[in-house]
Amino acid sequence: MKNDTTRTPKRAAQSTVISPSERLCPRRGKRTSSRWIALAICSVALAVCPPATAKLTLMHGFVDYTSALLWVQTDAAVDSGGELAARRRNAGHAREVRRARGERQRRRRALDRTSADRREGTLRTQPYWSKAEDARDITIAFGSCFFLADSNPLWGSQSYASGFEIFDAIATKKPDVMVWMGDNLYYQTPDELDPSMMAFRYRRQRTFGPLQNLLTATSQIAIWDDHDYGPNDADLSYVMKGESLKLFKQYWANPSFGLPEVPGVFGYARMSDVDIFLLDDRYYRSANGLLDGPDKTMWGNAQLTWLKNALVYSNAPLKLIVNGTQMWNRFNHFEGFNRYVTEQKAFAAWLLDQRIEGVVFLTGDRHFSELIKIERPGAYPLYEFTSSPLTSSPWTNPPMEEQTSPDIVPGTLVFKRQFGLIRVTGPGNDRRFALESYDQKGVLQWRQEIRASDLKFPKK
């Protein structure tokens, strides 16, 4: 078998992603009960010449109140004349099934009759309620830095990745959504200027055996950071960023990507009464080493304008701002927001002036876990939960000034492979948020609880 760096692009290019879509109408009656949707993709006609076995890879994408996205990939060419039909139970009428070469599909049983490769299961739509006392518990999982070694040792360390049981550990916690916070794969040197190799890296990562259970255990949404955008520390100057964006949109099933006039992976997702703001810290990013000033930016003016308006519009008790790069670590000497001093200070001042409540930051990248608490006179503190790595090698010896930072909540600095959870509980008018870190085996490392009332400004 050829190694990954020499596999022929022609073979890789035959992989096809099928995407029918179906919108399910809400049930009438009790508004507090979650609805379980079972769909059967009862005819997947895969025509290949000569006939070949076509194996399916499935992933749950964004799940809303009455609909869900299902991502499907096959490892053989799909005849454009093939039909996909959907049947649903305990829901309203189905919209006509569409198919396009992309990443989205509605949920879920999948049967490939040509190969008897079968996937069966159910998917729960988001809970919805109109009264505070009917609020439901929500669990949000998140993590970053999923390294999978290339089979050719020339391209990356063979010992850098381990602990793949972490994906089953996440699935066991039964989260309502998994948020991938960047470095969800690592492009290697041969990939950086070759779209076919970039695509191959995605296909190889997505079909990785230990990942499969998690992909269909819950909804998945994602942002990127440098390694799944381009080379290490890549910025707006990366010449293949257009190709990289196409692949990201093909392999992830977020509800949206950027704005019509502003390309990127940034966007918004809701999980009941939690708003999730997904940021793109690469496409518009100025070089880290550029001298600071009003033109040096991590997000670009258009994305920052969108974020500010979206935060003002939101009335969610918890507003999660998800960014690949750390935001408030004062002692980060690498790629933190502290390298963009003017923009960082202006954004911090805006949060105060605008009195945005309920904000918590989720970040990755650093290969260790910590909870940072930034005190703000006259305002609630800003919390930043950094969760990293999933399978990459942990960094066990950051500079002592980082390890002894007064901003770190005691007991939360962990040098292990790990993932994070936020458990949202309590009535809708008094929500509680438990921030938890787990190692690769699913063992709790630390837990901090805050209340929605702790994320509000003092009354004037």
pLDDT at 255: 97
Q: If you ran DSSP here, which 8-state letter would residue 100 be given? A: -
pLDDT score of 153: 84
Could you tell me which of 140, 94, 115 has the C-alpha nearest to residue 269? 140
C-alpha to C-alpha distance for 345 and 53, rounded to whole angstroms: 56
Q: Please state, in angstroms and as integers, the Cα–Cα distance from residue 147 to each residue in 45, 151, 161, 204, 213, following that order.
A: 34, 12, 6, 12, 18
The answer for 186, left when phi > 0, alpha when psi is -120 to 50, beta otherwise, is beta
**Token pair for 112:** 């490939």
DSSP assignment, residue 369? B
Q: Coil, strand or helix: which one is 150?
A: coil
User: pTM (2 decimals)?
Assistant: 0.84
Q: Output the six-digit token pair for 437.
A: 């870190």
DSSP 402-436: HHT-TTBPTT--B-SSEEEEEEEES-TTS-EEEEE
Residues 6+ apart with CB under 8 A from 409: 370, 371, 372, 373, 448
Residue 113, pLDDT score: 42
Ordered domains of the chain (ranges, CATH): 9-124 (no CATH), 132-455 (3.60.21.70)
The upper half-sphere exposure of residue 332, i.e. CA atoms within 13 Å in the direction of its Cβ, equals 26
Question: Beta strands 16-18 and 117-119: pairing type?
Answer: unpaired
**b or e along 56-91 (b: 16 or more beta carbons within 10 Å of the residue's beta carbon)?**
bbbbbbbbbbbbbbbbbbbbbbbeeeeebebebeeb
- Which pLDDT belongs to residue 7? 33
Rounded to whole angstroms, the Cα distance separating 251 from 161 reads 22
Instruction: Encode pLDDT of 58-91 as tens digits.
Output: 999 999 999 999 999 887 654 433 333 332 222 2
CA 182 from centre of chain: 7
H or E element in which residue 373 lies? strand 370-376
Can you give the pLDDT at residue 187? 97
Kindly give the parts of the chain with pLDDT less than 70: 1-54, 76-119, 121
